[in-house]
Amino acid sequence: MSDTLTQIQALVTRSLLRISDHGYDELAKDDILVTEVLAGIDTAVVVEDYPAAMRGPSVLVLQWDTFRRPVHVVWAIPKDQSEPAVLVTAYRPDQERWSSDFMRRKK
């Protein structure tokens, strides 16, 4: 388990979150509902963890919508801050670019 994801889950549970403008655009583009992303944070699985990212700790997670379709979500916490959790982007992973379980990038 990722410390970053654990922190983000706690922040989302406390409604200490923000969705970036890019995040809203990408959610709309792929018909992903914010409510589904928020509801799925507790069962999110870490795909890639970036605890020392330049802009602050971030994590790419795999979540599932209510129709059991995969959703990748990038969450972050601003550098040198403890809140809020920021939904940076979300998208439906492309099967041509990801493994069949959506956990590894294809080379």
Q: Note the pLDDT of residue 3.
A: 95
Total of domains in the chain? 1
Domain assignment present for residue 9? The answer is yes
Host domain of residue 15: 3-78+85-91
- Rounded Cα distance between 66 and 5, Å, is 21
- The per-residue pLDDT for range 32-59, each reduced to its tens digit, is 999 999 999 999 999 999 999 999 999 9
Domain assignment present for residue 98? The answer is no
Domain assignment present for residue 101? The answer is no
User: Residue-wise pLDDT tens for the chain (107 aa)?
Assistant: 799 999 999 999 999 999 999 999 999 999 999 999 999 999 999 999 999 999 999 999 999 998 999 999 999 999 999 999 999 999 999 999 999 999 999 98
Q: Note the pLDDT of residue 1.
A: 75
Domain assignment present for residue 73? The answer is yes
Q: Note the pLDDT of residue 81.
A: 96
Q: Note the pLDDT of residue 104.
A: 96
Q: Per DSSP, which regions of the chain are E strands? A: 17-19, 45-50, 58-64, 70-76, 85-91
CA distances from 103 to 12, 46, 62, 86 (A): 23, 8, 7, 21
Domain assignment present for residue 35? The answer is yes
Domain assignment present for residue 100? The answer is no
17-19 and 45-50 strand pairing: unpaired
